[in-house]
Amino acid sequence: MSDLAGILMERLVPAFESGRDPARAVGAAAYMRDQFPFLGLTAPARRTLARTALAGLPSPGEDDLRAVALACWRRDAREFQQFACDYLTRHVAVPGPAFVAVLAELITTKSWWDTVDPLATRVLGGLVTRHPSLAATMDEWSREENMWLVRAAILHQLHYGAATDEERLFGYCTAQAGHRDFFVRKAIGWALRHYARTDPEAVRRFLAGPGTDLSPLSVREAAKHL
């Protein structure tokens, strides 16, 4: 663990523990289908405690980001993984292309939408923007057996707007049109619905053509505002 990561975790762990709310933790765990234990911190409380822990610390380098993220992923309470997503998002301009391997580990470990989605749309998306050669990695992820890597590939362009690679987006959706998992079908619809804000006609054409093989859930989500 880097020096910065060590200091940060020494501050963060007791800070988060001090805000523990057992009653709220039960509800938070139930909302996530009891996938993970929680401390019971609300998002605003978590971010307030995090700001205190971060006060006076220098900006991280790539090694620090890796160390902090992996340290948080080793903690049981889900709030630590959620903090790591916030921390990576805040410093999204720091890591280089090799950091995609770290993101793959985070996405495929302790996987659920609350961490996969911000990692995909805020961190991975920024990484691919700055390092376009990683688009080939997204092509690989879009065909992976791991559904969370597939979801991440589909969603990584979510905030690209007019810079969206339309062919790539539609290609991923077409390739995974028959995917059986809810989270992939939902991601397809979400990605298309978001892109429809930029080019609604393109999404309409897609749904009327190659998109006819999409699941009803994907189509319903994609066409929600068309």
What does each C-alpha distance from 191 to 79, 124, 130, 152, 156 come to in angstroms?
26, 15, 20, 11, 9
Local confidence pLDDT in tens for the 226 residues of the chain: 789 999 999 999 999 999 999 999 999 999 999 999 999 999 999 999 999 999 999 999 999 999 999 999 999 999 999 999 999 999 999 999 999 999 999 999 999 999 999 999 999 999 999 999 999 999 999 999 999 999 999 999 999 999 999 999 999 999 999 999 999 999 999 999 999 999 999 999 999 999 999 999 999 999 998 9
Contact 203, 173 (CB under 8 A): no
Contact 76, 37 (CB under 8 A): yes
Give residue 64's pLDDT. Answer: 98
For 163, which DSSP code? G
Give residue 2's pLDDT. Answer: 83
Contact 11, 53 (CB under 8 A): yes
Q: What is the pTM of this model?
A: 0.96
The Cα–Cα gap between 82 and 50 comes to 11
Give residue 75's pLDDT. Answer: 98
Task: Kindly list the domain boundaries of the chain, sorted by start residue.
Answer: 96-222
Put residue 198 in one of left, alpha, beta given phi > 0 → left and psi -120 to 50 → alpha. Answer: alpha
Give residue 212's pLDDT. Answer: 95
Give residue 72's pLDDT. Answer: 98
Structure tokens at 192: 């298309």
Structure tokens at 170: 């539609």
Give residue 205's pLDDT. Answer: 97
Give residue 1's pLDDT. Answer: 76
Structure tokens at 97: 């292309």
Which CATH number does the domain 96-222 belong to among 2.70.98.60, 3.40.50.300, 1.25.10.90, 3.30.460.80?
Answer: 1.25.10.90
Closest CA to 83 of 131, 33, 30, 19: 19
Contact 175, 142 (CB under 8 A): yes
Between helix 166-175 and helix 182-195 the angle, nearest 10°, is 150
Contact 61, 27 (CB under 8 A): no
